[in-house]
Amino acid sequence: MSADPFARFQEWYGEAERRGSPLPEAMTLATATADGRPSARTVLFKGLDERGFLFFTNYQSRKGLELAENPRAALVFHWHGDPRRQVLVQGRVEKVSREESRAYFDSRERGSRIAASISRQSRPIASRQALEQQFAAAEARLGDRVELPDWWGGYVLAPESFEFWESRPSRLHDRIRFTRRENGWKQEFLAP
């Protein structure tokens, strides 16, 4: 396995895809308010580059508001199989450019773009029926071109640490933590 945490993540992610793990791109995103009240939810991983881990969402959602108050977060990937594996990534989060958000938004299927344009994510709604009526009205009104809403876009989490966990017999699991240093990554083995 690679001593570079980015490369190691790519190896594990690729193996999860090849093994047919269900939704290998599903990751738990943990955020917290400025005063430390945590929350977590599952979002979809949309890419990894030299900046970090990419995901997209509504900036006015609970997670978006929490990231505006406290731009630090954690991601957890968990893949079932043999062996079971988990990767925890912690770091600072920043919005991506409007152009990058628009390129991804335009690649989504039309229904998803319409849903993003009408949803006031995390806010109460009158009913499921009211939401479906709002969607149908927008679907009829918008045509083929659905514009990127001002409140929707991407984030990138720049890793400050990675922790790789792999199941082993007798609960003697492997845990390896990488912590970013000025001159690279410090690697430590952790007790299970």
- Convert the pLDDT of each residue in 158-185 to its tens digit: 999 999 999 888 888 899 999 999 989 9
Is 124 a domain residue? no
Is 75 a domain residue? yes
How many C-alpha atoms does 186 have within 13 Å on its Cβ side? 8
Active site residue ranges = 171
Quote the CA–CA distance of 175 and 189 in Å, as a whole number.
6
Contact status, residue 16 vs residue 22, Cβ threshold 8 Å:
no
Domains in the chain, number: 1
Contact status, residue 113 vs residue 153, Cβ threshold 8 Å:
no
Q: Is the peptide bond before 71 cis (omega within 30 degrees of 0)?
A: no
pLDDT score recorded for residue 158: 98
pLDDT score recorded for residue 69: 97
Is 138 a domain residue? no
Q: Which residues of the chain have pLDDT under 50?
A: none
pLDDT score recorded for residue 125: 86
Is 179 a domain residue? yes
Token output for 23? 């939704």
Q: At 42, which CATH number?
A: 2.30.110.10
Is 141 a domain residue? no
- The domain in which residue 10 lies consists of 5-108+150-189
C-alpha dihedral, 169 to 170 to 171 to 174, nearest 10°: -50
CA angle 102, 104, 109 (to 5 degrees): 110
State pTM to two decimals. Answer: 0.91
Is 102 a domain residue? yes
